[in-house]
Amino acid sequence: MLRGRRLIAVVFSLIGVAGLCGAAESGTPDNTAPSAVPVQTAPKSAPETPISVSGSRLPDVDVPSADSVELPVKKPAKAPAAEPDAPVEKDAKPQTVSDAGTKSAVAAPAPEVKSAGDKPAAAASSGEFVKTNRAECDDDELESIYAPPTIEGFSGWKKNKARRSQTQLIDNDMIGIPDRWRIGIPKDSRHVKGNLWNPYRQNVIKGDYPIIGQSIFMEADFVSDTLVEGHSTPTPSGVSSQRPGSFQFFGHPDQFILQQNFEMSLSLFKGETDFKPKEWEVRVTPVFNLNYANVQENFAINIDPRQGRTRLDSQVTFNEFFGEYHFADLSPNYDFIASRTGIQFFNEDFRGFLFADNNLGARVFGNLESNRLQYNLAAFEMLTKDTNSDLNTFDFKDHHVVLANIIRQDTFWKGFNILGNVAFSDEEASRDYTSNHVIVRPTPIGDLHTHANKVYYLGLGADGHIGRLNNTTQFYHAMGTDTHNQLAGKRLTIDANMFATEMSYDMDWMRFRTSFFYASGDQKTNDHKAGGFDSIFDNPNFAGGEFSYWVRQGFGAGNALTGLKNRGSLLPSLNSSKGEGQRNFVNPGLKLYNIGYDADLTQNLKAVMNVNYIQFDNTSSLETLLHQNNINKNIGFDCSLGMNYRPWLNNQVIINAGVSTLVPSQGFKDIYSPKTLYAGFMGITIRY
SS3 state at 631: coil
Neighbours of 651 (CB within 10 A): 10
pLDDT higher than threshold 80 for residue 566:
yes
Neighbours of 609 (CB within 10 A): 16
Could you give the count of Cα atoms lying within 13 Å of 461 in the half-sphere of its Cβ? 28
For range 98-126, the mean pLDDT: 41
Neighbours of 135 (CB within 10 A): 14
pLDDT band at 40 (very low <50, low <70, confident <90, very high): very low
Listed in sequence order, the DSSP H helices in 318-405 are: none
Q: What is the pLDDT of residue 90?
A: 44
Single pTM value for the model: 0.76
What is the C-alpha to C-alpha distance for residues 154 and 161, in angstroms, rounded to an integer?
Answer: 16
SS3 for 138-184, per residue? CHHHHHHHHCCCCECCECCCCCCCCCCCHHHEEECCEECCCCHHHCC
For range 546-565, the mean pLDDT: 86
For range 585-603, the mean pLDDT: 96
**Which H/E stretch holds residue 530?**
strand 529-530
For range 584-608, the mean pLDDT: 96
User: 27 vs 394, which has greater pLDDT?
Assistant: 394
Strands 529-530 and 490-507: parallel
For range 479-499, the mean pLDDT: 94
Q: What is the pLDDT of residue 179?
A: 74
pLDDT higher than threshold 50 for residue 321:
yes
For range 556-576, the mean pLDDT: 85
Q: What is the pLDDT of residue 640?
A: 97
pLDDT higher than threshold 90 for residue 502:
yes
CA distances from 459 to 422, 473, 500 (A): 6, 11, 12
Q: What is the pLDDT of residue 302?
A: 73
CB 317 within 8 A of CB 280: no
Polymer length in residues for the chain:
688
CB 581 within 8 A of CB 594: no
For range 495-500, the mean pLDDT: 97
Q: Of 121-135, 244-258, 394-408, 440-454, which gets the smallest average pLDDT?
A: 121-135
Question: What are the DSSP calls for 577-614, one per residue?
Answer: -TTTS-----S--EEEEEEEEEEE-SSSEEEEEEEEEE
For range 416-430, the mean pLDDT: 96
Q: Which residues pair with 471 in a beta bridge?
A: 464, 503
Q: What is the pLDDT of residue 35?
A: 38
What is the C-alpha to C-alpha distance for residues 588 and 575, in angstroms, rounded to an integer?
Answer: 12
pLDDT band at 342 (very low <50, low <70, confident <90, very high): very high
pLDDT higher than threshold 90 for residue 618:
yes
For range 556-584, the mean pLDDT: 87
Q: What is the pLDDT of residue 108?
A: 44
Query: Which region, left, alpha or beta, applies to residue 649 given φ > 0 means left and ψ of -120 to 50 means alpha?
Result: left
pLDDT in tens, 429-456: 999 888 877 888 888 887 788 999 999 9
What is the C-alpha to C-alpha distance for residues 557 and 575, in angstroms, rounded to an integer?
Answer: 9
Q: Of 1-10, 144-153, 270-279, 490-499, which gets the smallest average pLDDT?
A: 1-10
Residue of 311, 313, 314 lying closest to 288 (CA atoms): 314
CB 314 within 8 A of CB 332: no
SS3 state at 17: helix
Residue of 315, 457, 321 lying closest to 393 (CA atoms): 315
Give helix then strand counts, H and E, for the chain.
7, 28
pLDDT higher than threshold 50 for residue 295:
yes
List Cβ neighbours of 485 (8 Å cut-off, separation of 6 or more): 446, 451, 491, 492, 530, 584, 585, 586
Q: What is the pLDDT of residue 347?
A: 96
User: 367 vs 144, which has greater pLDDT?
Assistant: 367
Q: Which residues pair with 259 in a beta bridge?
A: 227, 291
Listed in sequence order, the DSSP H helices in 420-566 are: 549-552
Q: Of 132-141, 192-201, 344-353, 555-564, which gets the smallest average pLDDT?
A: 132-141
What is the C-alpha to C-alpha distance for residues 421 and 401, in angstroms, rounded to an integer?
Answer: 13
Q: What is the pLDDT of residue 594?
A: 98
pLDDT band at 611 (very low <50, low <70, confident <90, very high): very high
For range 496-523, the mean pLDDT: 96
pLDDT higher than threshold 90 for residue 126:
no
SS3 state at 250: strand
User: 105 vs 224, which has greater pLDDT?
Assistant: 224
pLDDT band at 317 (very low <50, low <70, confident <90, very high): very high
What is the C-alpha to C-alpha distance for residues 602 and 509, in angstroms, rounded to an integer?
Answer: 9
Q: What is the dihedral of CA 295, 237, 615, 683, to 10 degrees?
A: 0
Q: Of 48-57, 436-445, 611-620, 631-640, which gets the smallest average pLDDT?
A: 48-57
For range 68-77, the mean pLDDT: 44
Residue of 176, 164, 118 lying closest to 137 (CA atoms): 164
Percent of the chain at pLDDT > 90 equals 52
Q: What is the pLDDT of residue 433?
A: 87
Q: What is the pLDDT of residue 168?
A: 46
pLDDT in tens, 3-27: 455 545 544 444 444 444 444 444 4
pLDDT band at 159 (very low <50, low <70, confident <90, very high): low
For range 530-545, the mean pLDDT: 95
Residue of 237, 227, 233, 236 lying closest to 255 (CA atoms): 233
Q: What is the pLDDT of residue 136?
A: 57
pLDDT higher than threshold 50 for residue 94:
no
What is the C-alpha to C-alpha distance for residues 498 and 474, in angstroms, rounded to an integer?
Answer: 8
Task: Supply the mean pLDDT for the chain.
Answer: 79
**Which H/E stretch holds residue 671?**
helix 666-671
SS3 state at 625: helix
Q: How far is CA 218 from the centre of its chain?
A: 13
CB 384 within 8 A of CB 579: yes
Amino acid, res. 256:
F
State the first-to-last Cα distance of the chain, in angstroms, to the nearest integer: 92
List Cβ neighbours of 588 (8 Å cut-off, separation of 6 or more): 521, 522, 532, 572, 574, 616, 617, 618, 619, 620, 621, 622
CB 297 within 8 A of CB 334: no
Q: What is the dihedral of CA 442, 446, 452, 454, to 10 degrees?
A: -120
pLDDT higher than threshold 90 for residue 128:
no
| Long-range contacts from 276-279, C-beta under 8 angstroms, 24+ separation | 276/329, 276/334, 277/326, 277/329, 277/334, 277/336, 277/338, 278/324, 278/326, 279/215, 279/325, 279/326
CB 287 within 8 A of CB 262: yes
User: 81 vs 285, which has greater pLDDT?
Assistant: 285
pLDDT higher than threshold 60 for residue 111:
no
Residue of 73, 69, 46, 207 lying closest to 128 (CA atoms): 46
Could you give the count of Cα atoms lying within 13 Å of 125 in the half-sphere of its Cβ? 14
For range 189-217, the mean pLDDT: 80
CB 610 within 8 A of CB 512: no
Cβ-count burial of 11 within 10 angstroms (0-12 exposed, 13-18 middle, 19+ buried)? exposed
pLDDT band at 562 (very low <50, low <70, confident <90, very high): confident
pLDDT in tens, 224-240: 999 999 999 988 776 55
For range 400-422, the mean pLDDT: 96
pLDDT band at 28 (very low <50, low <70, confident <90, very high): very low
Q: What is the pLDDT of residue 241?
A: 54
**Radius of gyration of the chain from its Cα atoms, rounded to whole angstroms:** 40
pLDDT band at 96 (very low <50, low <70, confident <90, very high): very low
Neighbours of 140 (CB within 10 A): 10
Q: What is the pLDDT of residue 11?
A: 47
